[in-house]
Amino acid sequence: MQTVQVALADRSYPIHIGTSLLSRPDLLLPHLSRPKAAIVTNTTIARLYLDQFITALRDHGVECFSIELPDGEQYKTWQTLNTIFDGLLGARCERNTTLIALGGGVIGDMGGFAAATYQRGMPFIQIPTTLLAQVDSSVGGKTAINHPLGKNMIGAFYQPKLVIADTTVLSTLPDREFSAGLAEVIKYGLIRDLPFLEWLEENMETLVQRDVGALEYAIARSCINKAEVVSADERESGERALLNFGHTFGHAIEAALGFGTWLHGEAVAAGMVQATALSARLGFVSNTAIERVANLLKRANLPNTPPKIPSDQSLSLMSHDKKVDAGKIRFVLLKSIGQAFLSDSVPETQLRAVLEQPVVAANV
């Protein structure tokens, strides 16, 4: 087991990464305010892992119950969030009951938002079961639900007490979901960790085959990158915004197609190609950089060409993005491969050109 620390003074917490960690309730016990926990999960994960997890906790004296939600991005709504509150209130949960989110990014986001707001805050533990959640959404305290006009527009910053990334559960992850997580892994290399990107280029096929050693290395390296950024800029006032590379384009793709049509990582992948193409149009990187990004995404079985969406619709959706400041869309661009920066001075003509023209040939 490897442990990465997120340094946030008295709110610091560990990320444990390793195999068969769901069978290690001893990792959770020190982080429970009292021996009672509400486990929020979805129907898919419940069928695979819930019984064994609850049994392990109860064998260690923890009173626990589960709240099962439907599976899918389209359920990341107020209505589904209220299902969590119904469960917490029905079980007479108090402020010191711990909420454990057992699932992917949707469960983590909604469970975290519920924990942040139930009785104005209850302890929260993340146990992400998808690659995307293990390397990104479970770390850093962003919690939210979607709105028809934008992704993750309603939420709160609320840090967990602990994150447990069990690589064993990734063996049951569908190939499409697994590849979606690789988009966020690749992102870290593109924005701030060139040596990691080069490692990914050398080892992508091994990673796609879910080699345990490669997986643990990639997850740990991703978590180290995110932990460093979050520790320096928890509330996204500066550097943390760089983690949204490809997301402004990607969120517009998700909203335009309907949440759940493309997976988040798929939309981010296409969005990263668009963001690289915009960087090239503005003179920061060459067209070779676009090909390099697109080729790596293809090897990860991810889309490297965005779907056809009218540019006016994309621009409208981007205008609702959380990174809009004083009416200007802030884009995360590449100064070079491995070094990102923020810009709010992108000419609309250049942006429309990226939105309206194929960014990369489908056979790259």
pLDDT score, position 219: 98
**Picking from 95-99, 162-166, 256-260, which range would have the lowest pLDDT averaged per residue?**
256-260
pLDDT score, position 237: 81
pLDDT score, position 328: 84
- What does the alpha-carbon distance between residue 360 and residue 58 come to, in Å, rounded to a whole number? 53
- What does the alpha-carbon distance between residue 273 and residue 294 come to, in Å, rounded to a whole number? 6
| Segment 28-37 mean pLDDT | 95
Find, among 193, 190, 175, the residue nearest to 269 by Cα. Answer: 190
| Segment 108-120 mean pLDDT | 98
DSSP structure class, residue 295: H
Give tens-digit pLDDT for 193-224: 999 999 999 999 999 999 999 999 999 999 99
Residue 63: how many other CB atoms lie within 10 Å:
13
- Tell me if residue 290 falls in helix, strand or coil: helix
Give tens-digit pLDDT for 255-305: 999 988 999 999 999 999 999 999 999 999 999 999 999 999 999 999 999
| Segment 78-90 mean pLDDT | 97
DSSP string, 110-166: HHHHHHHHGGG---EEEEE-SHHIIIIITSS-EEEEEETTEEEEEEEE---SEEEEE
Q: Is the pLDDT of residue 361 over 50?
A: no
Name the phi and psi angles at 273, rounded to 5.
-65, -45
Residue 111: both structure tokens together = 């469970």
Helix (H) or strand (E) holding 65: strand 63-69
pLDDT averaged over every residue in the chain: 94
pLDDT band of 238, cuts 50, 70, 90: confident
Q: What is the 3-state secondary structure (H, E, C) of 67-101?
A: EEECCCHHHCCHHHHHHHHHHHHHCCCCCCCEEEE
Q: Is the pLDDT of residue 141 over 60?
A: yes
- What does the alpha-carbon distance between residue 57 and residue 135 come to, in Å, rounded to a whole number? 25
Q: Is the pLDDT of residue 363 over 70?
A: no
Q: Which domains does the chain have, with CATH numbers?
A: 2-172 (3.40.50.1970), 175-356 (1.20.1090.10)
Q: Could you list the active site residues?
A: 120, 142, 184, 226, 236, 240, 244, 247, 251, 264
Q: Is the pLDDT of residue 149 over 90?
A: no
Q: Which residues make Cβ contacts (< 8 Å) with residue 160, sequence separation at least 6? A: 13, 112, 124, 125, 126, 138, 141
- What does the alpha-carbon distance between residue 324 and residue 109 come to, in Å, rounded to a whole number? 21
pLDDT score, position 357: 81
Q: Is the pLDDT of residue 359 over 70?
A: no
Could you give the percent of the chain with pLDDT greater than 70? 97
Q: Which residues make Cβ contacts (< 8 Å) with residue 198, sequence separation at least 6? A: 189
Give tens-digit pLDDT for 292-332: 999 999 999 999 999 999 999 999 999 887 677 777 889 99
pLDDT score, position 324: 78
- What does the alpha-carbon distance between residue 9 and residue 1 come to, in Å, rounded to a whole number? 24
Residue 5: how many other CB atoms lie within 10 Å:
13
Q: Are 115 and 157 in contact (CB under 8 A)?
A: no
pLDDT score, position 173: 95
pLDDT score, position 159: 97
